[in-house]
Amino acid sequence: MDLSKFSAFKYEHAGRRVITPRRRWVLRVALVLAAAVSLVGFPVGLIAWLVPLLVFATAPKMLYIGPRYLICGNDIVYFNNVTAMTLEPATGSLTLVCASNSSFTLRRDKFPTNARKDFKIAANKKAKFEKASRRLIEKVLRASTEVELNGISRDDHVSA
């Protein structure tokens, strides 16, 4: 899958982590080296297994917004199947309801930030949520014209 056409956002979700080809290669090398080190010096060599564990555990969780669908962990939402969208700016959530009655909710509080002060954390999360939700809304409206909108103006998000 070519991810170059996708908008990528770090997003803390319950699904699986994204392991890129480079990270996969580093993980394999670290596993082989950990096995070799633990065979040579058994009790102390067990510490070498922390490196592959650390490589895997630090892989980011991502939200990918593509031209026709979004990928978030184990969830894939095809934009043509979206029947309703609800934006709630006060709570910071955008809900996409699909034809199969499944739903995906994008939440403002799940966007990570490196800021340390509360007002900067809130501003960064708000900016990331607005950017991601704006892209989602535009792509869904482009793909499906018969979407029920709640809290969203069609005129503000339709691009030529």
Greatest CA span in the chain, whole angstroms? 67
Q: Tell me the CA end-to-end span of the chain in Å, nearest whole number.
A: 28
Number of helical (H) and strand (E) elements in the chain, helices listed first: 5, 8
Residue pair 102/125 in contact (Cβ under 8 Å)? The answer is no
**Structure tokens that stand for 14 in this block:** 């319950």
Q: Is the dihedral of CA 10, 82, 3, 57 positive or negative?
A: positive
Note the pLDDT tens digit of each residue in 27-77: 999 889 888 888 887 777 778 888 888 988 888 888 889 888 898 888 889
Note the pLDDT tens digit of each residue in 109-144: 999 888 899 999 999 999 999 999 999 999 998 888
**Structure tokens that stand for 44 in this block:** 């102390």
SS3 label, residue 135: helix
Of the candidates 11, 21, 12, 20, which has an alpha carbon nearest to the alpha carbon of residue 65?
11
